[in-house]
Amino acid sequence: QVHMVETGGGEVQTGGSLRISCLASGSTFHYYCLGWFRQPPGKEREAVAAQGFENGNTYYADSMKGRFTISRDNAKNTMYLQMNDLKPEDSAMYYCAVDTRLPCFLYGRDWDLASTYKYWGQGAQVTVSS
């Protein structure tokens, strides 16, 4: 079992930046496939970004391209989501997720499906004020 602890949420003004971190347990973090999702109030969970194992390919939802960056530090068992130029519509609960099963994102598919991931963080609230 992988335990995920998220930190770094908060409130910012439009145009501001935040970085969310997620610390994962386990000795094989470098083999984990990573995902970030978000869920605004009253809406379904949607994919934000993903990264394959061992600093693999990255994937982004269209609305986040150029503003959000997923990254990882395998030595620290930590994944990050850097969010720049935040907009009010980015306000949501953000969740980190990992999948320990390989292969993942085969042919670039299924990175944006919640069912792909086995373990989830507790969520970090991001609020962007207008």
In percent, the amount of the chain with pLDDT more than 70 equals 100
**Tokens 């809406």 map to which residue?**
43
Residue-wise pLDDT for 35-72, tens only, equals: 999 999 999 999 999 999 988 899 999 989 999 999 99
- Identify the CA nearest to 24 among candidates 51, 48, 43, 44: 51
Residue-wise pLDDT for 108-122, tens only, equals: 999 999 999 999 999
What is the rounded distance in angstroms from the CA atom of residue 113 to the CA atom of residue 15? Answer: 28
What is the rounded distance in angstroms from the CA atom of residue 88 to the CA atom of residue 24? Answer: 29
Contact 97, 105 (CB under 8 A): no
Here the tokens at position 8 are 């770094």
Q: Residues 110, 112, 118, CA angle at the centre, nearest 5°?
A: 80
Identify the band that residue 77 occupies on the pLDDT scale cut at 50, 70 and 90.
very high
What is the rounded distance in angstroms from the CA atom of residue 6 to the CA atom of residue 23? Answer: 6
At 74, the amino acid letter reads N
